[in-house]
Structure 1
Amino acid sequence: MNPVVEIWTWGANSHGQLALDLTCEQIDKPTKLQTEFYDKIKQIACGGAHSVLLDSQGKLFSCGWNSKKQLGHKTEVYTFSRIWRLSGITFTNIACGWDFSCGVTDEHYLFVWGSNSHGQLGLPKDHFGEYVEPIRLQVNVCAISMGLRHTAMINSKGEVWTTGCGRHGQLGLGENTLNSDRFQKVPKLTKISHIACGQNHTVGWCSEENALYVWGDNRHGQLLLNSQEYKKIFTPQKIDISVRKEVKKLLSGWTNVLLWLHDGSLLTWGRNNKAQLGTDAEFSGKIFNIKLPDDRQVEDVALGSEHTLCMATDKTVWAWGWNEHANTGLPYTEEFIRCPTQVPIVTKSKIKQIFAGGAHNFVVIDYDLESK
């Protein structure tokens, strides 16, 4: 039986996070994975130097850095390997932080594992060590995001709950709660539809209000407030950014934020020291509307810590931002890629999915597309 998917990968590979069965500083060009998957891939989440894969049957696989047990394995592995201790459970969503991971089940339960050094897994530190093997939490989860040392989730009521480090205000729980080792409800937030964690900040979107809510570190203008006056925001602030279109995705890098709208617009703001906003314009604390060359329309977009990957409707892939580890798939002689530039992926089949995180990327090609 031949695999139904083909995976290409590139970028940082210091701990084997690209699943190529080797470790090295970086893989400079998009490289085809030798994969044994016979099921379609639903999602790939990328952490600081580890990766977790969710297939269409709800099974989980992982590879890469395992210093804090973030793989759900006993040891590091350099190819996607089944997380057997989570077998028999059907997962529908996954997320990775810097050195921790999670999976959401079809019954909306949350499993967490990896580093709990700052309580980012929502587990009381008095009863759990700094490294945690997969464990189920009694919480209801509809959406989840993980940052450097904190986690934010949305439940079925549209409430936001956070846990972990809050030193910069990223928990949204006020100036008196700078750390939490269990999920706590963020006050005054209801009917939030999208959530995204940055390095030390959190952003949420309310579709009913067409409003952005922001809290945490604002030193680089990533919260769209005056960075001199508001360096840290400890409780959510509502911002009207004059968006009236449906939001498809709200994403965050370490210090930048991106909104992908239903009309295809890409709105981005925050830090631009590594060209992560995809523009040559000087940082001015404003929102930029990024367009792909030749009026191409966006089919999907993914963010790493300081780079962006974008797929157009013609199935071409574009990248911009930090390129130190060839994270953009372009020659690493260029430290920054300042505007959307096509990634050279040579394949006869059509690209279906893109995933990015940390400084690495995955592109999935589905052979079923050829017969349609």
Structure 2
Amino acid sequence: MNMKSLLLVPLLALFAACGGGGGDDSPSTPETPTLKSITVTPANQTIPLGGTLQMAASGLYSDGKTSAITAGITWSIKGKNATIGSSGLVTATVLGSDTVTATVGSVSGSTGITISQPWAEVFSGGNHAVVLKKEGSLWSAGSNGWGQLGDGTTTDRNKLVVVNGNVLTWKQVAVGEFHTVAVRSDGTLWAWGFNQNGQLGTGTTVDRSAPVQVGTAKDWTSVAAGKAHSLAVNKAGQLWAWGRNFNGQLGDGTKIDRLAPTRVGTAVGWKSVSAGATHTIGLRTDGTIWAWGANESGQLGNGNTTEATAPAQIGTATWVATAAGGAHSMAIRADGALFAWGANASGQLGDGTALDELEPKQVGTETNWANIAAGDAFSLAVKSNGSLWSWGSNSAGQLGLGSNLDKSEPTQVGAGMTWRAVTAGLRHAYGIQTDSTVWVWGRNTEGQLAKGDNANALSPAQLP
């Protein structure tokens, strides 16, 4: 054995004793991913004063994965406009803007919130809509070619704009195809928009892009607007009408247009009125309903298709609510049963057929209907349990069912049970829930859904 060999022996022994870089295959402990950032959702929401909103947080980790954070999280509010619980539930307490923050250790994420006056009522017609806030201000969106939004312009709007005048006393509104009429809390009557047939009631045919007072009376209680005619009830229970009268829809016994409010007969005891495209349905305080105007599809419910230029009673039942659409009508009987009649080509009567009905026909057998609305060829209704139902034409998603398929029978919209009221335009709809949030769906080509774009919505989307 030479000297080199003798030197290698102890070195090899040493390597063997140290493991030699191999032979130990025990698993190593994996690194725990660390939290890098937090995202708070829903982001940048508007909450009505007194309303609540559930927040959630998700984390981005060092391994590139994202997951919900459900433990070890602290929620906080920067200012004093809202409060937040340990579960992330925000309660809006003061008007204004604030910031919601979620914190885990040294990592946090935030989003803004805006607390606004809650919505009070919704009104739709034609291709525009009007929304009333509880503070009394009025907002509008959609088609504005004739100034029907009342903002002083003729520019379409896909976001809500305030109606001119900084008025906080608006009470009730009716939306026609191209015009709008409204009553203030002082009983005055106002109108704006298209006026070709005198539907603004100002004594002229001049269009108006901002509210103009109709006469000087201060005893108006409610209004209605059709395609090009308007009606109003005063405190004395008198009914007045003006605008287009080609089909006798004003009910004054003629077919002459009226440029200013004209008394409908001599009867008193009118409670409310609903205006269809070219026909009218009126409800009296004794629970009787009366109809007049166009009747080509039986929308007057009198058993024939002959026009009527003066109110004629429909049956002898007692009713509590009415709605008039393009060429169909609906009413809720005192026991909560729903009836419909008139045009039915798209299933808007809800009886499972496409056959017109010349007299009121019950929709299903339920007796818990509470609120109804009629669009051009579709119908909407809220039951007393807070559920929302729709049927009829669905070409623009106006049924809110997530598709464009027509329905000839009432179909529930989602699973929500907190709907309070609903209103219908030509092919769009607005609904308000018990928490004062407003939801929109259907046609949006003119921006009438007020969601900042012009894309239709096939399902209800919350108004920002």
Q: Which bracket does the TM-score occupy, shorter chain normalised?
A: 0.7 to 0.9
**2:324 matches 1:197:** yes
Distance 1:7 1:236, change over 3 A: closer
Instruction: Give the superposition deviation at 1:331.
Output: 4.4
Mapped partners of 2:280, 2:365: distance in 1: 28
Instruction: Among all aligned residue pairs of Structure 1 and Structure 2, give the percentage whose two residues are the same amino acid.
Output: 27
- Residue 463 of structure 2: which of 343, 366, 369 is its match? 343
Q: Deviations over 1:293-318 (max 9, x none)?
A: xx582344322221111223343321
Task: Give me the whole-angstrom Cα distance separating, in 1, the residues matched to 2:409 and 2:371.
Answer: 19
2:389 to 267, 292, 302: 267
What is the match of residue 309 of structure 1?
430
Using the TM superposition, give the Cα deviation of residue 97 of structure 1 relative to its aligned residue in structure 2, in angstroms. 0.6
Query: In the alignment, which residue of structure 2 is the partner of 1:250?
Result: 372
1:214–1:33 Cα change, 3 Å = closer
Residue in structure 1 matching 2:411, options 271, 275, 288: 288
AA paired with 2:187? Answer: G
What TM-score do you get using the length of structure 1 for normalisation? Answer: 0.82
AA partner of residue 178 (structure 1): T
Of 339, 345, 348, the residue aligned with 1:222 is: 348
> What is the root-mean-square deviation in Å for CA atoms of aligned residues?
2.1
Q: Is the deviation greater in 93-102 or in 315-324?
A: 315-324
Once the two structures are superposed, the pairs formed by residues 1-372 of structure 1 within 5 Å of their partners are: 5-24=136-155, 26-38=156-168, 40-73=169-202, 74=204, 75-83=206-214, 85=215, 87-125=216-254, 129-137=256-264, 138-139=266-267, 140-175=269-304, 177-186=305-314, 188-208=315-335, 210-228=336-354, 230=355, 232-239=356-363, 241-245=364-368, 247-281=369-403, 282-291=405-414, 297-334=418-455, 336-344=456-464
Return the alpha-carbon distance in structure 1 between the equivalents of residues 407 and 201 of structure 2.
42
Shift of 1:100: 0.6
Task: Classify the secondary structure of the residue corresponding to 1:273.
Answer: coil
> For 2:137 and 2:343, how far apart are their aligned partners in 1?
39
Q: Which moved more, 1:311-320 or 1:194-203?
A: 311-320
Question: 1:78 and 1:157 mapped to 2: Cα distance?
Answer: 38
1:17 aligned counterpart, secondary structure:
coil
When the two structures are aligned, how many residues end up with a matched partner?
326
Contact 1:95–1:146 (8 Å) recurs in 2? yes
User: Are the structure 2 counterparts of residues 235 and 130 from structure 1 closer, same or farther at C-alpha, using a change threshold of 3 Å?
Assistant: same
The AA in structure 2 aligned to 1:197 is A
Q: Rate the CA distance shift 1:57–1:267 in 2: closer, same or farther, 3 A.
A: same
Cα distance in 2, alignment partners of residues 296 and 258 from structure 1:
15
Higher relative contact order (CA 8 A, sep 6+): 1
Q: Structure 2 CA distance, aligned partners of 1:248 and 1:204?
A: 10
Aligned pair in 2 of structure 1 residues 333, 78: CA closer, same or farther (>3 Å)? closer
Residue number in structure 2 paired with 1:352: none
SS at match of 2:183: strand
Question: Cα deviation per residue 1:220-272 (whole Å; 9 max; x = unaligned)?
Answer: 111123434x2x21122233x24343x43211111111112232111211111
- The alpha carbon displacement at 1:42 in A equals 1.3
Conserved? CA contact 2:397–2:458, under 8 Å: yes
Q: 1:338 to 1:216 in 2, by over 3 A?
A: same
Q: Which amino acid counterpart does residue 303 of structure 1 have in structure 2?
A: A
Runs of 4 or more, structure 1, over 6 Å off, are none
- What corresponds to 2:53 in structure 1? none
Residue type at the aligned position of 1:172? G
Displacement of 1:330 after TM fit? 2.5
1:91 CA drift (Å): 1.1
SS of 1:286's equivalent? strand
Normalising to structure 2: TM-score of the pair?
0.66
Q: Distance in 1 between matches of 2:339 and 2:406?
A: 21
User: Is residue 158–residue 454 contact of structure 2 (8 Å, CA) maintained in 1?
Assistant: no
Distance 1:287 1:45 in 2: 25
Tell me the alpha carbon deviations over residues 79-109 of structure 1, each in whole angstroms, 9 at most, x when there is no partner.
11111x2x23401111001101011011111
SS in 2 for 1:287: strand
- Structure 1 runs not aligned, ≥5 long: 345-372
